[in-house]
Amino acid sequence: MVPYMVWVLLSYGVAGLIVHLLHNRQLRDKPNLCKQVHYILVAHNHEKQMEWYLRALLWYSCLRAQSLRVTILDEGSQDDTLAIIERMKYANGMDLTVIGTADIEDQHESIWYSNPEDGEQSKFIDLRIPQEAAKIPYVQV
């Protein structure tokens, strides 16, 4: 009985090894077309939610092995939204760009009509509309 059990365990181990090798080969041969995701967030007085939004995006990109780029358009926040964004920028080292109210008119058109980089997927989320926050992974409205 023991030799049969050893053969069964050995065959399961070999089968698992073959599956892992074939999976790694497939990942290596197939180029990942969506390696970078660019989130454009429009914020206005979101100090209570902003840290969670950024952490959820960072966690999701780490799990998906994607590079993350976040651009935040601030529409004149009167609370600590910008301070929270700056702390998150330096704490996690993410590619985070903040465009304030004065800069929006200058860079607004370039953000809307910019061509995404090679393999970059852009997602626009207007946080002023409560239902839009559901587009962020791991955030439920």
> At 8, is the pLDDT very low, low, confident or very high (cuts 50, 70, 90)?
very high
With respect to residue 62, please indicate whether it lies within any of the assigned structural domains: yes
The total of structural domains in the chain comes to: 2
Residue type, 113: Y
Q: Are residues 3 and 67 part of one domain?
A: no
The domain in which residue 17 lies consists of 1-30
With respect to residue 140, please indicate whether it lies within any of the assigned structural domains: no
Q: Are residues 72 and 58 part of one domain?
A: yes
Cα 14 from chain centroid?
A: 36
Instruction: Quote the pTM value.
Output: 0.66
Q: Are residues 45 and 19 part of one domain?
A: no
| E strand or H helix at 89 | helix 81-92
**What mean pLDDT do residues 19-26 have?**
87
DSSP bridge partners of 74: 43
User: Which residue in 115, 105, 111 sits closest to 126, CA to CA?
Assistant: 111
% pLDDT > 90, the chain: 23
Q: Are residues 42 and 10 part of one domain?
A: no
Distances in whole angstroms, Cα of residue 44 to Cα of each of 51, 86, 90, 112: 14, 15, 21, 19
